[in-house]
Structure 1
Amino acid sequence: MKKNTIWMAAVLILAAFLVMPLKASAVEGTLGYQGGISIENLDKEHEYHYSEMCFLTGKPFELSGTLTIKKTDKNDVISSTYTYKLENAEHKAVMNRVIVYTASKETKSNGQITETTKLSKSPTEVITIDGKTYRLIEGGFSRSMLTDPKPAINYHAGEFSSSKIYSINAAASRNPDTVTVNFSGRIYSYDQYWSSTQTQKINVLVETKLRNADTPVQWGGSAEITVSSTARKQIYYAENEPTQISFEGGYVQNSWTEATLDYTARFPEFDKKGNPTDVMKTYANTQSMASSPVYSRLMVPDLKHLNGYWSEEAIGILYGLEVIPGSGNSFNPAKPVTRREFVVMLIRALNDIPEDPDVRKATVPNRRSSKKTPEISPFRDVSTDDIYYNEIKQAYTKGITRGNGQGLFYPNQYITKADAVKMMVSALGLENLAAWPAASTPFTDHDIIPLYVSNAVSVAHDLGLIAADERGRFNPKAQLTNEDTANLLYGLITYMGDEMIKDYSDRMMQF
């Protein structure tokens, strides 16, 4: 094995991203809705290391500390409690905030889920800054989300708004000095096994009214905030230093979560007495946080017969991830792959979508019959006793494949490149990215690509999952070999980890 080459390639090329499902801290909602960023505290359940910007004084500064999130889901009504404990020593600032939300979900006829969130009671918030106390006396919040569940990914998009009025040093006054802060933002996120990302773009308006000063003063400012959090995983090759060891080296998963906050704010300059001037000052900064890495060793397959083979890296990683069944010693790159075998590897490569770690589902006891319902296969030619029945059933249940549409799967037939690509794009749920009603493709053999897969082929090409051969062809009827399958699934994993993060986080942080 060319260890140095593979190590560099694995570090620089392969990016498969996500903390394991039980620690999926980039699930939408873990940032809160106050313009802050968070990283899960792996030592304390439901707690996050948290940071946000404070604009109340007209001079932005960071507040950091902890955010605790607890949720209960009962019959698609979610009650969420967000508890913030933040501080800033330089500004002698301490903040305590508790917000309780109620969210109602409704599944539409097309499977999409709408979620509407509002405050379930008045929030509490008290901030002390350099001896001044800012107390929340009025607050409002509204959030609307749409979730589009696909076989391998849940896509989310939504909007939220928040309004807050704080009194300054006068909780009991009938006409206190006040600061009003209005938020409006958009949310884009997705959840899947190989990465989860959430990004918020927020506009903030601040208005201060000092009614009780010797001369009443009013000033205001604004800010644009972009926050993003991503759960990532990197796989790299670790070479063993001892020579007298039973295996040469192996792949290691390095999992972590990272979050970034970027803001630009405009507020008036203040004179020596603290009064606002007509000059507006621009503040801008970027801050980040990241969790400690979590390492996980992958299985070391027996691939001595592939030493130096050009697809050795992809094959070795998929064996290590147990996407390809077996130990590797009998792997034949040229062997054609059956439909059964491909579905098994695809389902294992996709894995399960992580669930929100902060949600506790309230269960209602019910009486169940002691009789066990007989298992019925979705395909007449796939027995429930098939060793890979569960994976084939998952592919059917999730909508990745319907076989021939008439109850047959043809498990022992060799899978064609066209059908494999169709299943991959169906799993991503992105076939609608193709031109309507039928997409063209750049391949020289476009005319022989079956109509039912042309959209999937077009999307797969645009996403970088497939490329033309040396003659510009797609070869839709070609039978996939083990090597072809390994390269396709390796590319799918890399796309789901690396490229989606670029679209949902990196690109949006730049604009």
Structure 2
Amino acid sequence: MKTKIILTLLIICLLIPTTSIATPLEFVGGVQNEHQYEEIVFITGQPIKFVGSYSASEKVKNEEESVTYKFKLQSEDPKVLGKLDRTVTYVTSLSKHAGVGQTIGQTSVSKYKETIKIGSDTYNLTDYQFSKSDIIDQRPASDFYSGNIKGRKYYDYNKSQGNVIIDITGGNVGYENFWGSTETQIIDHIITADIGQNSFQGSYTHQVSDSMTKSLRYSENDASFSSFHGGHIRVTEKNVVSKYDYRLSKSHGSISLSQDMVPRLERLIVPKFRDVNGHWAEEDIKKLYSLDVFEGGNTTFSPDTPITRLDFTKAIMKASDIRTSMEETKKTRRRRNQPEEVSYFKDIAISNEDYKYVKSAVDSNIIAGISKDLFGPKKSLKRSEAIVILVRALGFETRAPNPGYMTSFSDDKDIPNWAKDSIYVAKELNLLEGDKANRINPNGILTRAEASDLIVRFLEFLEKDLQRDYRDNIIEF
């Protein structure tokens, strides 16, 4: 991540550009698109909107990352002569706890320089104390994190004619996965200005949320004589919303800001199955095939045949874009005297091109074998087994009530004890629902069509429901 470390680990691994991550710039409630940045400044006791340019650059070394922000802003109102120049560098150190899949991040300020000129008055930042600590829980399908912030800024007013102190308290929550990421900050500021006759005290709170989402949209083919009717487009959208609530000695109220990036469009492959037209799961199947989550023959998908353990495991790993822990053998060389890697299971060899998905799923505790040394790749999957895999991929298996509860399904007595927690959580997350008789048939064999429905619900949770919980339910905008 940037300094808020939402995705520092992923940055270290993949060197993702800073501007691609859905994380608010700095800790002042500003919003930005590709070219312009804007924020509200309260240092005078009145809200003043500043707009201008910004840049962010980062350096990653071992378990430490530094991010430098630079802003050159001016008052949006031509009647208010105002300029703001700010450069600040935040350094985040990471402490990994691999045994529990968690990381602790500690962030501080290493360099700072800020000058605000409003009319004939100048405010120089002379000291900036800042401390931030985050806990990141790395789950197979998504990373979840939360942080707390304390800080204080000291400004000199007109070369020692007075001073302004801003105390900062707040926190942030966020998540990141292949299908989306959101960070929401809520930070309180208390201003104490000792500037002669214009001295004042006041406070303001900024709530800012930066979100990136990927969604699928269907595009019809306008041509009548074509080999296909239409296809899906993957649309990546990024936007930032902010709300300031302020109560100062001279004024009080609320101000909202919003900026959107230009969406990115990606056309996906077009399925040409002849055995799904009119099928109840047709739309789900075509979506997942376009995303390369599911495979099929040139013209057939076989929607009503049972799905195998291997095919479902592979689909979940692809749907989540979970990085496999085994690199292709063509790209790696075994060191001299290093023992040759042995497959976890006797019934799927390392040479099998799909073994890397199985290995990663087992390493992530998403799935286990049917015995100590057998995976059962061609064995049909039960509905209860599939639901357990989905909930484990999210890392939500511990969110069920204490033992002794009953689910709301009419066939609750048929649910195996090892699957009950996951089925309860999946119902709460809207990953599954009962039939007309409110049954889920937990021990029934899952078809490829039913698997498509489950996986699409899973993707919609990653894409939409998390954003709603981490932004819409927190900020009213």
Give the secondary-structure state (helix, strand or coil) at the position aligned to 2:206. strand
Question: Aligned equivalents of 1:98 and 1:23: distance in 2?
Answer: 19
Report the Cα offset of residue 261 of structure 1. 0.3
1:199 aligns with 2:184: yes
Distance 2:54 2:400 in 1: 41
Aligned to 2:171: 186
Number of matched pairs: 451
Other structure's SS at 1:306 match: coil
Q: Distance in 2 between matches of 1:507 and 1:474?
A: 30
Deviation at 1:390, TM superposition (A): 1.4
Deviates more, 1:225-234 or 1:62-71: 62-71
Amino acid at match of 2:422: A
Q: Go from structure 1 to structure 2 and tell me whether the alpha carbon gap of 1:438 and 1:497 turns closer, same or farther (over 3 Å shift).
A: farther
Say which structure, 1 or 2, has more relative contact order (CA 8 Å, 6+ apart): 1
- Within 5 Å, which residues of 2 pair with 1:74-93? 74-90=61-77, 91-93=80-82
| 1:420-477 deviation per Cα after TM superposition (whole angstroms, max 9, x unaligned) | 0000000001112211246531112212211111111000000000011122212111
With over 3 angstroms needed to count, the CA separation of the structure-2 counterparts of 1:160 and 1:49, relative to structure 1, is farther
Provide the C-alpha distance between the structure 2 equivalents of 1:144 and 1:241, rounded to a whole number of angstroms: 53
**Code of the aligned partner of 1:81:** T
SS in 2 for 1:347: helix
TM-score (ref. length: structure 1): 0.83
1:360 counterpart residue number: none
Counterparts of 1:123-162 in structure 2, within 5 Å, are 123-162=112-151
Q: Give the 3-state SS of the residue equivalent to 2:365 in structure 1.
A: coil
How many angstroms apart in 2 are the aligned matches of 1:412 and 1:330?
Answer: 19
TM-score by length of 2: 0.89
Question: Secondary structure of the equivalent of 1:431?
Answer: coil
Residue 282 of structure 1 pairs with residue 276 of structure 2:
no
Q: 1:351 aligns with which of 302, 321, 324?
A: 321
Q: What is the aligned partner in structure 2 of residue 59 from structure 1?
A: 46
1:25 and 1:257 in contact (8 A); partners too:
no
SS across alignment from 1:32 = coil
Q: Could you say if the C-alpha distance between residues 65 and 342 of structure 1 is closer, same or farther in structure 2, counting changes exceeding 3 Å?
A: same
1:491, distance to aligned residue in structure 2 (A): 0.7
Match of 1:337 in 2: 307
User: Structure 2 vs 1, CA of residues 319 and 417 (structure 1 numbering), >3 Å: closer, same or farther?
Assistant: same
List alignment gaps of at least 5 residues for structure 2: 1-13, 324-333
Whole-angstrom distance in 2 between the partners of 1:203 and 1:312: 49
Contact 1:439 1:455 in 2 (8 A): no
Q: In 2 relative to 1, CA 247–373 (structure 1 residues): closer, same or farther, beyond 3 Å?
A: farther
- How far the C-alpha of 1:104 sits from its partner, in A, is 1.8
Worse-matched range after superposition: 383-392 or 58-67: 58-67
1:60, 1:192 → 2: CA distance? Answer: 36
Q: 2: CA distance between counterparts of 1:159 and 1:260?
A: 20
Question: 1:314 aligns to what?
Answer: 284
User: In the alignment, what sits opposite 2:294?
Assistant: 324
Give the 5 Å matches for 1:463-482. 463-482=429-448
Q: Secondary structure at the match of 1:502?
A: helix
Which residue number in structure 2 is paired with residue 428 of structure 1? 394
Aligned equivalent of 2:107, options 93, 100, 117: 117
Q: Mean alpha-carbon deviation: is it higher for 455-464 or for 96-105?
A: 96-105
**For the structure 1 residues 341 and 200, does the alpha-carbon distance in structure 2 shift closer, same or farther, using more than 3 Å as the test?**
same
Is the counterpart of residue 510 in structure 1 residue 453 in structure 2? no
SS in 2 for 1:225: strand
Matched position secondary structure for 1:232: strand
Matches of 1:450 and 1:117 in 2, distance apart? 45
Partner residue of 1:238 out of 203, 215, 219: 219
Counterparts of 1:431-450 in structure 2, within 5 Å, are: 431-437=397-403, 439-450=405-416
State the secondary structure of the residue aligned to 1:509: coil
Pairing partner for 1:101 from 74, 90, 102: 90
Is this contact kept in 2: 1:27–1:198, CA < 8 A? no
Q: Please give the per-residue CA displacement for 1:242-262, whole angstroms capped at 9, x wherever unaligned.
A: 112221111112211011001
Residue identity opposite 1:257 in structure 2: K
Q: Does 1:31 align with 2:20?
A: no
Residue 338 of structure 1 and its aligned partner are, at CA, apart by 0.6
Counterparts in 2 of 1:343 and 1:432: CA distance versus 1, 3 Å: same
Query: Is the contact made by 2:140 and 2:364 (CA closer than 8 Å) also made in structure 1?
Result: yes
Shift of 1:373: 4.9
Contact 1:438 1:455 in 2 (8 A): no
Alpha-carbon distance change, 139 to 22 in structure 1, aligned in 2, over 3 angstroms: closer
8 Å contact kept, 1:68–1:83: yes
Partner of 2:327: none
- Residue in 2 aligned with 1:9? none
Match of 2:6 in 1: none
- Cα distance in 2, alignment partners of residues 50 and 403 from structure 1: 52
Instruction: Specify the code of the residue in structure 2 equivalent to 1:225.
Output: H
What displacement does 1:337 show?
0.6
3-state DSSP class of the match of 2:461? helix
Give the Cα separation in 2 of the matches to 1:177 and 1:486: 66
Q: 1:371 to 1:38 in 2, by over 3 A?
A: farther
How far did 1:385 drift? Answer: 1.7
Report the Cα offset of residue 326 of structure 1.
Answer: 3.5
- Counterpart residue number, 2:5: none
Moved more, 260-269 or 404-413: 404-413
Q: Give distance in 1, aligned partners of 2:298 and 2:319.
A: 17
Specify the alignment match of 2:450 in structure 1. Answer: 484
8 Å contact kept, 2:24–2:240: no
Structure 1 range deviating more: 256-265 or 385-394: 385-394
CA root-mean-square deviation? 2.2
Task: Choose which of 153, 174, 177 in structure 2 pairs with 1:164.
Answer: 153
Deviation >6 Å, runs of 4+? none
SS of match in other structure, 1:504: helix
Identity score, percent: 29
Once residues 239 and 218 of structure 1 are traced to their aligned partners in structure 2, the CA distance between those partners, rounded to angstroms, is 63
Give the drift of 1:369.
4.3
CA contact (8 A) 1:78 1:103 kept: yes
Partner amino acid for 1:337?
I
1:399 to 1:21, Cα distance in 2 relative to 1, 3 A: farther
**Shift of residue 504 of structure 1?**
0.3
Find the aligned partners of 1:434 and 1:460 in 2 and give their Cα distance: 10
SS of residue matched to 1:120: strand
CA contact (8 A) 2:180 2:213 kept: yes
User: CA separation of 1:267/1:242 partners in 2, compared to 1, >3 Å: closer, same or farther?
Assistant: same
Shift of 1:199: 0.2
Is the CA contact (8 Å cut-off) linking 2:192 and 2:200 kept in structure 1? Answer: yes
Residues 439 and 61 (structure 1 numbering): CA distance in 2 closer, same or farther, change over 3 Å?
Answer: farther
In 2, Cα distance between equivalents of 1:21 and 1:194: 18
Q: 1:5 aligns to what?
A: none
Distance in 1, matches of 2:19 and 2:287, equals 25
